[in-house]
């Protein structure tokens, strides 16, 4: 009840008014049964706009820290995220990561729509990064189709580090379902899982105009974090020499 109240009365009308989201390929979303919607990831707002345009209820895994913040603000955040269909996922280690995968697989087997970001984190620069093989493992274990999804404009409406969203037209493209039943029984084979993941990322690249980078987004963020202090030092040296 809270999910539909948020979508149709509280959040939905505001998002439609200021961001005018348009969706292509909605006919690919199955009317019943489980399906995994694998999306590029540009902004926190991705998890708001995709459920907004999909007629069925969607669930997104979200990191546990969002649900455990202290105080009144923390309790409100937990209530809000639960209301929009997000579930807490502990990504702190190996056992926790497996538990997260098991939760998503269970939801899919029960016939739910689940959204996932194969890149594992937001793109630091708007490019499309290498996918992690968890998406393949989930698809094989749950035996569900994978729908590639592209979000366009969410990084303009909700830039990294922003606290206030800016009105900007949002586009969402949903591609035809990808069927990996030919690999049934091969979950755990790292070469098969890598092949499936790369096929999903290629489908995302085909749907979008994003440049593809054969590197994990988390690694790119680490490199940027190292580069920024070095760039600052270079600027200081230039100023000292001038």
pLDDT at 240 over 60: no
Residue 161: C-alpha distances to residues 73, 152, 155, 229 (Å)? 19, 18, 11, 18
pLDDT at 82 over 50: yes
HSE-up of residue 142 (Cα within 13 Å, Cβ side): 28
Please give the average per-residue pLDDT across 213-233, as a whole number.
Answer: 81
pLDDT at 242 over 60: no
Tell which wins on pLDDT, 193 or 162: 193
> CB within 8 A of 192, min separation 6: which ones?
136, 140, 183, 186
Average pLDDT, the chain: 88
Per CATH, the homologous superfamily of domain 2-241 is Glycerol-3-phosphate (1)-acyltransferase (3.40.1130.10)
Please give the average per-residue pLDDT across 175-201, as a whole number.
Answer: 96
pLDDT in the model for residue 157: 97
Residue 223: C-alpha distances to residues 58, 209, 216 (Å)? 34, 24, 11
Distance CA 41, CA 128 (A): 8
* Predicted TM-score of the model (pTM): 0.87
pLDDT at 77 over 90: no
pLDDT in the model for residue 238: 46
pLDDT in the model for residue 5: 83
CA 192 to chain centre: 22
pLDDT in the model for residue 91: 66
Domain ranges of the chain: 2-241
Q: What angle do the packed helices 46-53 and 12-19 form, to 10 degrees?
A: 100
């Amino acid at each position: 009840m809270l999910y539909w109240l948020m979508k149709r009365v509280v959040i939905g009308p505001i998002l439609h008014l200021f961001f005018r989201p348009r969706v292509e390929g909605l006919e690919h979303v199955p009317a019943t049964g489980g399906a995994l919607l694998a999306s590029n990831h540009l902004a926190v707002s991705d998890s708001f706009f995709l459920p907004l345009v999909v007629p069925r209820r969607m669930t997104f895994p979200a990191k546990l820290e969002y649900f455990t913040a202290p105080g009144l603000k923390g309790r409100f955040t937990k209530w809000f995220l639960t209301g929009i269909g997000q579930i807490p996922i502990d990504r702190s280690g190996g056992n926790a990561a497996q538990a997260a995968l098991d939760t998503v697989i269970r939801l899919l087997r029960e016939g739910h729509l689940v959204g996932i970001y194969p890149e594992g984190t937001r793109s630091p620069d708007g490019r499309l990064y290498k996918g992690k093989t968890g998406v393949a493992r989930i698809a094989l274990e749950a035996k569900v189709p994978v729908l590639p999804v592209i979000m366009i404009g969410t990084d303009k409406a909700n830039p990294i580090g922003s606290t206030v969203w800016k009105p900007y037209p949002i586009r969402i493209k949903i591609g035809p379902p990808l069927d990996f039943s030919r690999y049934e029984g091969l979950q755990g084979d790292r070469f098969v899982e890598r092949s499936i993941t790369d096929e999903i990322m290629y489908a995302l690249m085909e749907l979008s105009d994003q440049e593809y980078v054969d590197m994990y987004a988390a690694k790119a963020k680490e490199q940027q974090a190292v580069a920024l202090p070095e760039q600052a030092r270079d600027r200081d040296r230039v100023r000292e020499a001038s």
